[in-house]
Structure 1
């Protein structure tokens, strides 16, 4: 079975929805317009709507014509990134500093497509739970929905999610059991020295020099402290200091991320970061404050659900295009928190284009929309078959 003909028939509607959301991107917990679109579409298709779950999240409930039974959750993220777009598409972002550079506009649209198809057919026994999540990009949207008693209010026996994948070929779908995406911490390091004139560094305590030295020293943690058989990444992604050519500033700041698959390795990296910072502070006579925050858990696909998703994917794109032995990736995804609460699986759907996500030139291929929508819809129909 290729993509569902009924979904292909309203593909143009899905493209229009996606382009509208793309042109009006909203970052985490600000998805007011997007969630209103989602709620309005669900309601128009006769789906029970629950807005405001986890602040700006939306949940839709649809019972199949076979009556009560098991409950399958489908999840999509809605938020954009705080970055500019450089694609020059006719439907490009109309909001400076906001861009759907990760394709969440496509994920939201795919789930809407699945919801529309399922509402028009209801050919299953049990309940489909449509979870439209805010704030996936490091702001804790999944945890906000869980804190709002997502699964107590809307129980699910299983839950499934997906992500676009420009690194895969069009028509390929990847899903595999076990650890699939890394856990992640974000960190901020503030260095407080003593400011001075740029011509008289001896009367100050230069936080810029400390920041440079600390950035280099932190890179030795993975290369010299972590077990080389364990995957780990420590990336410094921001350095901020100074405002003038002739002023040594009072403060400097570093920020970045840690990625691991092991709680023990994550603990080691956090401890060494604090130890190295303390040593640097003593060496240079400055104050260094380290703030490390657990943002993402390791995403672990459950075996039976990953196998079920692979079988459905084979229906859509052919067994030869389903990848089930892919290596885990160091990227992170807060769907991991939902998978800790409910068994399920996370899939990647390939599409045309080679520009990676989180790049200002990223373009999502609209051809992926019926593929993702068909995959999600068939997961409900097969897992809730009469």
Structure 2
């Protein structure tokens, strides 16, 4: 067995305890005061001097600032505004939930931090441990980058991983090139003129306008983009009025554009903007569209991905590591790192329904449960990959 994995397995009960404490107390968005304090306290316990570089963002260094290479490891810490519906004894009860596994990510990086501290004398460079807020809102990575997370010392390469519900436990998957879609979150506000429902001619109906915009937007995908290109426009919110017999003055639509090519994403947004403005004007209203947040497509540096994958195979075995080409339409804000430094992003299988009926629910589902057996694997992947990359890139 790989020595780092052996050490990680020896701390499994400690990792489970950490994970459950974080899972029990989920926090959402940019401000994660309790989670940040808990992680910083753990890092100090392990012998680090962590620093908060932006609101709820944490950086800690293993190794020495000796002018050699720096390898970054990143974990996200935020949860989702989802009410947990599992029967776990450590379930959240505050209306939020770690339904995307970020509690496991944080725990695995803390485990890696402990392993790296134990092997610090063997590090031939610096490992930068990064704990990030607000991945779900697609704002955390950009905030960390703006705050200088890639400097002091300058980062040469970066790695992150994400648990994957439905994939067999400890199976590792990684993409070559563009792997995960970019996403633009938008908000459309339609301004009309409110009136009584019995006399619609005295007002301007924003619901009617919004409905035409909703239907017309799908024509962008079906009639303006090649069938060979992947893109999705989804509306998840349509809000207007508060009673049955009054036409409201305003309607609000919110949704996402997902794409595997940045130029295509820009084109779709511009066409959606044209439709919003023109349709609203056609029906005597006013339409405004704005970007709430965005993240570019995630692209794995192919050389780095295959290089790090060779180290991961030392941890879990060659048959458990699978590469693929092409991309899915989910999104991940670690993508922003890949436009600054060579980066790689792995998916770590967290259990399938064939293993246990409790596993395999979709990510973000209120009943999703992840197999805690993967905690040592993730910790070892992080630590060993960083150690070996530094050794091979002096």
State the TM-score, normalized to the length of structure 2: 0.93
Paired position in structure 1 for 2:364? 358
CA distance in 2, matches of 1:264, 1:42: 41
Paired position in structure 2 for 1:57? 57
Alignment of 1:45-124 (within 5 A): 45-51=46-52, 53-63=53-63, 69-96=68-95, 98-122=96-120, 123-124=122-123
CA distance in 2, matches of 1:17, 1:136: 20
Paired position in structure 2 for 1:40? 41
CA distance in 1, matches of 2:171, 2:17: 24
CA distance in 2, matches of 1:359, 1:68: 45
Q: Is the 8 A contact 2:134 2:140 kept in 1?
A: yes
Moved more, 121-130 or 73-82: 121-130
Runs (4+) off by over 4 Å: none
1:382 correspondence with 2:393: no
Q: Find the residue that maps to 1:215 and give its secondary structure.
A: helix
Moved more, 31-40 or 326-335: 326-335
Q: Is the 8 A contact 1:73 1:158 kept in 2?
A: yes
Q: Which digits, 9 at most, give the CA deviation of each residue in 1:222-245, with x for residues without a partner?
A: 111112211111111111011112
After TM superposition, give the deviation of residue 107 of structure 1 in Å.
0.3
CA distance in 2, matches of 1:169, 1:295: 31
Q: Is the 8 A contact 1:219 1:234 kept in 2?
A: yes
Structure 1 unaligned residues grouped into runs of 5+:
none
Q: Which digits, 9 at most, give the CA deviation of each residue in 1:320-359, with x for residues without a partner?
A: 2211125311111111111211112110000112111111
Q: Which digits, 9 at most, give the CA deviation of each residue in 1:171-226, with x for residues without a partner?
A: 21011321111111111001111112223223222211222221111111111111
After TM superposition, give the deviation of residue 287 of structure 1 in Å.
1.0
Please, what is the CA RMSD of the aligned residues?
1.8
Q: Find the residue that maps to 1:4 and give its secondary structure.
A: helix
State the TM-score, normalized to the length of structure 1: 0.95
Q: Which digits, 9 at most, give the CA deviation of each residue in 1:49-70, with x for residues without a partner?
A: 112x122111111116x97632
Paired position in structure 2 for 1:25? 26
CA distance in 2, matches of 1:301, 1:23: 33
Q: Is the 8 A contact 1:54 1:147 kept in 2?
A: no
Alignment of 1:1-386 (within 5 A): 1=1, 4-51=5-52, 53-63=53-63, 69-96=68-95, 98-122=96-120, 123-293=122-292, 295-352=294-351, 353-385=359-391
Q: Which digits, 9 at most, give the CA deviation of each residue in 1:95-115, with x for residues without a partner?
A: 12x111111011000000011
Q: Find the residue that maps to 1:175 and give its secondary structure.
A: strand
CA distance in 2, matches of 1:198, 1:228: 42
Moved more, 342-351 or 67-76: 67-76
Q: Find the residue that maps to 1:179 and give its secondary structure.
A: strand
Using a 3 Å threshold, how does the CA distance of structure 1 residues 379 and 356 change in structure 2: closer, same or farther?
same
Moved more, 328-337 or 85-94: 85-94
CA distance in 2, matches of 1:67, 1:153: 12
Q: Find the residue that maps to 2:186 and give its secondary structure.
A: strand
Q: Is the 8 A contact 1:54 1:141 kept in 2?
A: no
Structure 2 unaligned residues grouped into runs of 5+:
352-358
CA distance in 2, matches of 1:209, 1:265: 29
After TM superposition, give the deviation of residue 295 of structure 1 in Å.
1.1
Q: Is the 8 A contact 2:77 2:105 kept in 1?
A: yes
Tell me the matched-pair count.
383
CA distance in 1, matches of 2:292, 2:22: 31
CA distance in 1, matches of 2:125, 2:138: 33
